[in-house]
Amino acid sequence: MSPNPKLLVIKGSLFLAASILFISCGNETPKDENLNVTTEDTTFSVETSDVSYSLPSPLQIASIFKKSGLKFKAGITSQEKDPGKYTTNLSKALNLGVYSADLSYTVLNKQSQEAMNYMKLSRQLADNLGMGSVFEEANLSKRFEKNLSNEDSLAYIIAELQMVTDMYLDENDQQQITSIVFSGAWIESMYVGSKVFEKEKDKELNNKLAEQMTILSSIIGALKAQEAKDPNMASLIADLESVKTIYVSLPSVKNATADSDDKQMTLTDDETAQLTKKIEELRTKFIKG
Name the DSSP class of 53.
Answer: E
Q: How confident is the model at residue 97 (pLDDT cuts 50, 70, 90)?
A: very high
Is the alpha carbon torsion for 12, 178, 176, 232 positive or negative?
negative
Mean pLDDT of 90-98: 95
Mean pLDDT of 87-96: 95
Q: Compute the distance between CA of residue 217 and CA of residue 243 in angstroms, rounded to an integer.
A: 10
pLDDT above 60: residue 261: no
In contact, 28 and 22? CB cutoff 8 Å: yes
Q: What is the pLDDT, as a whole number, of residue 34?
A: 42
Q: What is the pLDDT, as a whole number, of residue 10?
A: 33
Q: How confident is the model at residue 13 (pLDDT cuts 50, 70, 90)?
A: very low
Q: How confident is the model at residue 209 (pLDDT cuts 50, 70, 90)?
A: confident
Q: Please choose, from the candidates 269, 213, 267, 273, the residue with its C-alpha nearest in 3D space to the C-alpha of residue 243.
A: 213
Highest mean pLDDT among 90-94, 107-111, 196-200: 90-94
Q: Compute the distance between CA of residue 252 and CA of residue 210 in angstroms, rounded to an integer.
A: 10
pLDDT above 50: residue 169: yes
pLDDT above 50: residue 12: no
pLDDT above 50: residue 190: yes
What's the one-letter identity of residue 183? S
Residue % of the chain over a pLDDT of 70: 73
Coil, helix or strand for 45?
strand
